[in-house]
Chains A and B, each alone.
Chain A
Amino acid sequence: MHVRKRHVMLALLIAVPAVLGLWVPIYNRDAPRFYGIPFFYWFQTFWLVASAGFYMAFARMKEGRN
């Protein structure tokens, strides 16, 4: 059970950024803007930073067990 939970977590840490990046209609919009930058641009740029957090968590979890 524990092992399975860990695997699901690991998979999610990679899959969440991937699904968000590929699901274009959810971010293909102009509003809300951030300092005048359309949503389309700032959302994708913001997710670069967020994905680094997800991937770092993945790296840490891997480090724990192998």
Chain B
Amino acid sequence: MIGLDVTAVFVSLFALFIGLGFYGKYWRRGDLSHVHEWSLAGRKLGTWLVFFLIGADLYTAYSFVAIPSGVFAKGSLYFFAIPYVMLTFGVAMVTMPRLWSLAREKGYITASDFVKDRFGSTALSIMIAVTGIVAELPYIALQIVGMQAVLTVMLAGIANSQLVEEAALLISFVILAAFTYTSGLRGATLTAVFKDVIIWATVVVVMVAVPIGMGGFAHVFAPMTPSYVKLPQNMEPAYVTLILGSALALYLYPHAINGVLSSESAEKLRKSTALLPLYGVGLAVLALMGIMAYSSPATMKFLSGFPESSRGILVVPSLILHTLPGWFSGIALLGIFVGGLVPAAIMAMAQANLLTRNIIKEFRPGMSGITETRITKISSTAFKFIALGFVFAVPATYAISLQLLGGILIAQVLPAVLLGLYVRSLKRMPLIIGLLAGIGSGIYMVEAANNFGQLTVSLFGTFFGPVYIAVISLAINLSVALVGSLLLRKGTHKMTG
């Protein structure tokens, strides 16, 4: 059981977090009955606020728990997350300011808004909205899995821990839903800054204190098998395609685009994006905790009390609890806990924008701005509770399976959203067929790679070795979209495309 100091610090910081969330309504006041004021904070966020917001958005509780979990179980392969974040910001540096400028000029709130305007196709824009909503749902569910891991470690050993854990999650989500409803993205931004400060303090302390306590990194790595020291050579194709596929996909997630569009200017967006790889250093330190855990006998003893499949996600919270002073582990654990809440809020908000603007509005075009905002707020609340209900109803492994699939699905909107920014000759029909081909082949390969059972791998055996499925199905999708557009242009000179 944990000490009172851990609980006291955790609870008081959580109270502060709630206060900030509600205070967001008064911060940089705007008329919150406008959608862009509520969900984009009035497009007025500067370099540092966008840095914190997107940082909180992309480096989530799930990444803080799942990456170390993968490193703990499988070793170096899961370190792909580090070069992946480096590359994804390069992709964003080039593409996102352009999307931002178009969005500002034409009033887009979502990627589907852009696609509809650019290609004049409601069908394509609805398909992209649905893909975004579906891919986002397990992502929110996994934030909850990350938060659960923190609670499981904190509550270990007390009576009815399962019940207390579910009650705590439910209460947190009710509070989160209440302040996002009233404060919108402003509340999320303020709490994101709070969360980032805590995570950074944690990372610095872990980096300095934990290896010293273990006698240095040479000691940490000494007992590890070779696949924990460097990558086995046959896994290089997997590593490189995981980097590439994930880097191309990240900024296609609706919550990432939502963060981008809240920036005040394209210049400021570029600067904050340029700084975001620095945030990855924190992720690298946490990833190494998956290896450090083996050198902490107290942590390993604690973990051995859980079934092997759920040990991974408990690595970071239990290592924090067993190697750092009580009051500080209270701070660090809270950082990871709210690290799930903040992105969950932004993800649900982004889903709600897609549902309202790009799906409901297509069927009810006369909707007023105020009605649109109200439906957005209500559906963002609903999405949060759907994700929570999902986590309560099914085992965490299902959420992880679906997230795996979500990454492959979201990559398929790349031709329309990112290439659409540059390639003039793209046509809507080939894009639609390409998207369907990408999604179909992606789902088929995932199922085949897992022998049509529980989804645990996203790699497909090829001639070159194991390859990340998102990359293969994106290649199919891109070829269809590009070749199709080229053929249409040649074939129909005088017809309107």
Contacts and interface: CB of A to CB of B under 8 A. Distances in A.
Interface of A: 14, 17-18, 21-22, 24-25, 28-30, 33, 35-41, 44-45, 47-49, 51-52, 55-56, 58-59, 62-63, 66
Contacts of B277: 48-49, 51-52, 55
A40 B84 CA distance: 14
Contact of A47 (B76, B79, B83, B97): B83
B474 to A, nearest CB: 15
B85 interface: yes
Contacts of B231: 24, 28, 40
Nearest to A38: B229
A14 B230 contact: no
Contacts of B135: none
A14 B221 CA distance: 33
Given A44-B83, A59-B274, A37 B221 contact: yes
B284 A35 contact: no
Nearest to A11: B94
B236 interface: yes
Contacts of B221: 36-38
Interface string B251-289: 000000000000000110011011111101100100010
A6 to B, nearest CB: 15
A17 B87 CA distance: 7
A36 B94 contact: no
Nearest to B281: A48
Interface stretch (B10-18, B211-219, B454-462, B486-494): B211-219
A37 B281 CA distance: 14
B82 interface: yes
B284 A55 contact: no
Q: Which of A35, A36, A40, A47 has the most CB of B within 10 A?
A: A36
A22 B240 contact: yes
A14 B278 CA distance: 16
Contacts of B219: 36
B111 to A, nearest CB: 21
Contact of B90 (A17, A29, A62): A17
Contacts of B278: 48-49, 52
B284 A45 contact: yes
Interface in B55-90: 76, 79, 82-87, 89-90
Contacts of A18: 87, 90
Given A28-B233, A55-B277, A36 B217 contact: yes
Interface string B218-234: 11110000000111010
Contacts of B229: 30, 38, 40
Interface of B: 76, 79, 82-87, 89-90, 93-94, 97, 211, 216-221, 229-231, 233, 236, 239-240, 243-244, 266-267, 270-271, 273-278, 280-281, 284, 288
Contacts of A47: 83, 86
A17 B216 CA distance: 29
Question: 10 shortest A-B CB distances, which residue pairs?
Answer: A36-B217, A36-B218, A55-B274, A21-B83, A59-B270, A45-B284, A56-B274, A40-B230, A48-B280, A48-B277
A3 B211 CA distance: 50
A2 to B, nearest CB: 21
Contacts of A30: 229-230
A52 B97 CA distance: 17
Contacts of B284: 41, 44-45, 48
A22 to B, nearest CB: 5
30 contacts: A21-B243, A22-B87, A24-B239, A30-B229, A35-B217, A35-B218, A36-B216, A36-B221, A37-B221, A37-B288, A40-B79, A40-B230, A44-B82, A45-B82, A45-B280, A48-B86, A48-B278, A48-B280, A48-B284, A51-B89, A52-B274, A55-B89, A55-B93, A55-B274, A56-B274, A58-B274, A59-B271, A59-B274, A62-B267, A63-B270
A22 B243 contact: yes
Nearest to B86: A51
Contact of B236 (A25, A58, A62): A25
B216 A58 contact: no
Contacts of B275: 52, 55-56
Contacts of A22: 83, 87, 240, 243-244
A38 B93 contact: no
Contacts of A33: 217-218
A34 B99 CA distance: 41
Contacts of B79: 40-41, 44
Contact of B270 (A25, A36, A62): A62
Given A33-B217, A47-B86, A48-B86, 12 more contacts: A17-B86, A21-B84, A28-B233, A28-B236, A33-B218, A36-B218, A37-B217, A39-B230, A41-B284, A44-B284, A45-B82, A63-B270
